[in-house]
Amino acid sequence: MGIEKNKMADGLNCSRPVYINDYSLYCILGGDKAQILDALKNGRRGTFTTYDVAGVQRPAATIDPVSLAPVPEKKFDNRVNRLSQAALVSVEKTIQKAVEKYGANRVGIFIGSCDNGSEASMAALKCFKETGAFPDDYVLDYQRADFPAQFIAERFGITGMLSVHSTACASSASAFVSARNNLYAGNCDVAIVGGVDIASLSVILGFASLEAMSDKPTNPFSANRSGLTLGDAAVFFVVTKEQCAELCTEKCEGLKVVGFGESDDADHITAPRADGEGAYQAMKAALMDAALDASQIDYVNLHGTGTELNDAMESCAVNRLFGESNHANVPVSSTKALTGHTLGAAGALELAFCCLALQSGRESGTDKNNCGEKEYLLPAHLFDGVVDPELPPLHFVKPGETSKNLKYCMSNSFAFGGCNVSLIVENGLA
């Protein structure tokens, strides 16, 4: 570690940040950033829907379909794209400016998503079973992996590269890595990066068959945890490799993703490696990429699914990493108890929550040079408070808890197949 620190000090780490010019999000907590931040601060979950799965009631953080407007282009009109459409509203002006400034062929789209139109597939199969034929308007395009990205491209007239990642729960975090790499490779000048996923019936049935779903809202890191709860979300960022004054909204000034870490357990098709080694390596790689020490991280958004295995291995990995720097008391929380596990969108959603926290500093003074004392809101960790004595201790954020120091936030995404991604976002104005 001493050699690594020396390399950082000598400027040899070849830092490659991406700047956040604008971003939007839509989940069970709503689409308004102030409203979402208030819910995160107070540990107030959205209204979950209950589904009957083989006689067992399963909650899910699904958005009422009636609240989502139809997509005007009929060929793209499905629940995934309706959700994307709702999230894109608040960033559409920034995307249009990006297309005008750089050209439609220089804007790339990098999306994380896993569903691929399953609701249309299930409806078509039901029709086939009942009538012996598929519906006349059913097309396989709904199941193409690039369908969510194609919708965005056509909506804004984008002709640049498209990339859709389906690395399970790490999909949109993987999309961020891909966006960074392609920006620096010169394949695009600006990237629309994020994720969209829905808790469709097929996904709910799949997780229920794995015995990974809880019959009550998820209870992460509790001794009483009994599984995950699924949810809907769409999240989009507009990023560049340099700060762009023409695109950057005032509130996003100074926001940049500075650390990108990946690892792969290569251990089991669904279960994480029990000792948390892969998660540890992803977080460590993100720190190295950002030229930071663990002691500089001010908050960690945990993957925290509420399953027995995930929470156990992640608590071990986090405690190990931050304990090495005597920073084991770093504030942490899993926000999945508030939003449900939004699968392919989770990485981007939770990175957006970190951005909201970084932007939440409230000035107690009136100095235009930001010399007043700041207070930052932290996303609360909602659970029953019954700490699992078998897990290493972590500093879970209490509802209403604040911090006077918030410059670097880490967001973890640990997926099926041991696909691990850790991202670090910085508030350059802190």
What was the pLDDT predicted at 369?
53
Q: Note the pLDDT tens digit of each residue in 93-130.
A: 999 999 999 999 999 999 999 877 777 788 888 899 99
What was the pLDDT predicted at 123?
83
Average pLDDT value for residue range 161-179: 95
Average pLDDT value for residue range 257-282: 91
Minimum mean pLDDT range among 135-144, 174-183, 222-231, 372-381: 135-144
What was the pLDDT predicted at 140?
79
- How far apart CA 22 and CA 156 sit, in angstroms, is 16
**pLDDT band at 343, cuts 50/70/90?**
very high
Q: Is the pLDDT of residue 365 over 90?
A: no
- How far apart CA 132 and CA 129 sit, in angstroms, is 6
- How far apart CA 106 and CA 191 sit, in angstroms, is 9
Element (H, E) at 237: strand 233-240
Q: Is the pLDDT of residue 330 over 90?
A: yes
Tokens 């950082």 correspond to: 8
Q: Note the pLDDT tens digit of each residue in 66-87.
A: 999 999 998 899 999 999 999 9
Give the residue among 183, 179, 198 at the shortest CA–CA distance from 110.
179
Same fold, 18-240 and 254-427: yes
Retrieve residue 60's tokens.
């899910």
Average pLDDT value for residue range 373-396: 95
Is 25 in a helix, a strand, or coil? Answer: strand
Element (H, E) at 320: helix 308-323
The DSSP code for 233 is E
The DSSP code for 11 is T
4/311: higher pLDDT = 311
Is 73 in a helix, a strand, or coil? Answer: coil
Question: Model-level pTM?
Answer: 0.93
Q: Any bridge partners for residue 110, and if so which?
A: 163, 193
Q: Is the pLDDT of residue 294 over 80?
A: yes
Percent of the chain topping pLDDT 70: 94
Give the residue among 262, 98, 302, 292 at the shortest CA–CA distance from 174.
262
- Between helix 201-209 and helix 118-131 the angle, nearest 10°, is 90
Q: What are phi and psi for residue 279, nearest 5 degrees?
A: -65, -45
Q: Is the pLDDT of residue 414 over 80?
A: yes
- How far apart CA 347 and CA 303 sit, in angstroms, is 9
CATH topology classification for 18-240: Peroxisomal Thiolase; Chain A, domain 1 (3.40.47)
Distance of CA 429 to the CA centre of its chain: 23
Average pLDDT value for residue range 333-360: 97
So which residues are the catalytic ones?
A: 169, 303, 341
Q: Is the pLDDT of residue 1 over 80?
A: no
What was the pLDDT predicted at 53?
84
Mean pLDDT of the chain: 91
Q: Note the pLDDT tens digit of each residue in 125-165.
A: 889 999 999 888 887 777 788 999 999 999 999 999 999 99
Per-domain boundaries in the chain: 18-240, 254-427
Relative to beta strand 331-333, strand 299-301 is parallel
Q: Is the pLDDT of residue 3 over 50?
A: no
Minimum mean pLDDT range among 16-20, 126-130, 289-293, 360-364: 360-364
The DSSP code for 387 is B
Q: Note the pLDDT tens digit of each residue in 4-28.
A: 333 333 333 457 999 999 999 999 9
Minimum mean pLDDT range among 125-139, 166-180, 284-298: 125-139
Q: Is the pLDDT of residue 412 over 90?
A: yes
The DSSP code for 398 is P
What was the pLDDT predicted at 138?
81
What was the pLDDT predicted at 125?
87
What was the pLDDT predicted at 217?
95
What was the pLDDT predicted at 367?
44
- Between helix 33-42 and helix 346-358 the angle, nearest 10°, is 90
- Out of 3.40.190.10, 3.40.47.10, 3.40.109.10, 3.30.70.980, which CATH number does the structure's domain 254-427 have? 3.40.47.10
- How far apart CA 238 and CA 273 sit, in angstroms, is 34
